[in-house]
Amino acid sequence: MKIFVYAMREFDEKEFFDQFCEEFHCEYSYCVDYPKESNIELAKGYDAVSVTPCDMNAAVLDRFYDMGVRCIATRSIGFDHIDLVRAKELGMGVCHVSYAPETVADYAIMLMLMCCRNICHILNRASIQDFTLKGKMGKDLCDCTVGVIGTGQIGSTVIRHLSSFGCNILAYDLYPKKELEGIAQYVSLETLYSQSDIITLHTPSTKENYHLLDAEAFRQMKEGVIIVNTARGALIDTYSLIDALESGKIGHAALDVLEKEDGLYYANRMGDVIENREMAILRAFPNVILSPHTAFYTKKVVRDMAYKTIKGVHDMMNHIENPLVIQTLRDKQQ
């Protein structure tokens, strides 16, 4: 079994790839860049490639397939960046990873608290030695109604952890969970929008929920609502978000993910002119927090992602059942 790893982070991932590839008797090599024209041939002769979120479109998959690559392993929970239709046509196996939901759940709650207490404004003023109180007053999380959209593993963990703060919790999901009864109240999206002081997103990105939060959704929300997104950038219409921030409809926004972040986040772009006008506008708002897709980032999670990537490829190559395998490896002619 041979894996070529793209976008390898030598400072944190490599030690775990060394460890687990030895355990699985797997040969691997890597480069630190995303797949692109100048390095795609490096994967020639390998059974699988591993990537972090980047554009894995049909043309890219075709190139890999022609070089003998039969498995794609993404080191992320989300896999919307991979053209699954083309992968299935080619007979390529695809797998993703999972990790403990507490990591992202607690990060989301941290962002809620930062917004409630105006922490960025407080720190910015403290940096110029303005220690006065005027304009810094926050609000208590326990006095807020929090709307949680998506109650999968991460959303459910957010709800359980939030229950300790004493806040009212509303939830929306196509498949309500009985175990959350008595902790959160499932309501319609319209009710969640209109009654929530804080709205946090924990749903995957699909065609059906593309721009779930758009101008119409923002129109239904409370004045001064706090928006938190640690899920996927495509869930929010960024231009509508900017309009709602400018009008005051949104009081704070805390975004760990952003539209058009591929090729931007996880890269050192210091000194570059970045072609992302929406990001530039958002960075200008004092009531917006942008973090570069780091909600997942703990040592335990990095270890788990490396292990599950290698095990996923191993299981696909050996036709072993694995819940993290999205599409099984098969012969194209079958």
At 290 the three-state DSSP class reads strand
Closest CA to 225 of 257, 260, 201: 201
Distance CA 169, CA 110 (A): 16
Q: Give 126-158 as a DSSP string.
A: HHTT----TT-----GGGSEEEEE--SHHHHHH
Domain 102-290 matching CATH 3.40.50.720: the answer reads yes
Active-site residue (options: 232, 252, 259, 314): 232
Closest CA to 192 of 250, 143, 150: 150
Active-site residue (options: 13, 70, 259, 261): 261
Closest CA to 103 of 305, 295, 308: 295
Tokens, residue 111: 């962002």
> Fold for domain 2-99+298-327?
Rossmann fold (3.40.50)
Q: What is the pLDDT of residues 4-63, one digit of tens each?
A: 999 999 999 999 999 999 999 999 999 999 999 999 999 999 999 999 988 999 999 999
Residue 75 falls in the annotated catalytic set: no
Residue 232 falls in the annotated catalytic set: yes
Angle of CA points 181, 182, 185, to nearest 5° = 70
Active-site residue (options: 70, 75, 202, 293): 293
Listed by start position, the domains of the chain span 2-99+298-327, 102-290
Measure Cα distances from 61 to 33, 37, 138 in Å: 17, 13, 49
Taking the CB of residue 169, how many other CB atoms lie within 10 A of it?
Answer: 21
Two domains, one topology: 2-99+298-327 and 102-290: yes
Residue 208 falls in the annotated catalytic set: no
Q: What is this structure's pTM?
A: 0.89
Q: What is the distance of C-alpha 68 from the center of its chain?
A: 30
pLDDT tens track, the chain, 334 positions: 999 999 999 999 999 999 999 999 999 999 999 999 999 999 999 999 999 988 999 999 999 999 999 999 999 988 989 999 999 999 999 999 999 999 999 999 999 999 999 999 999 999 999 999 999 999 999 999 999 999 999 999 999 999 999 999 999 999 999 999 999 999 999 999 999 999 999 998 889 999 999 999 999 999 999 999 999 999 999 999 999 999 999 999 999 999 988 778 888 889 999 989 999 999 999 999 999 999 999 999 999 999 999 999 999 999 999 999 999 998 644 3
Distance CA 95, CA 322 (A): 9
Tell me the β-bridge partners of 184: 181
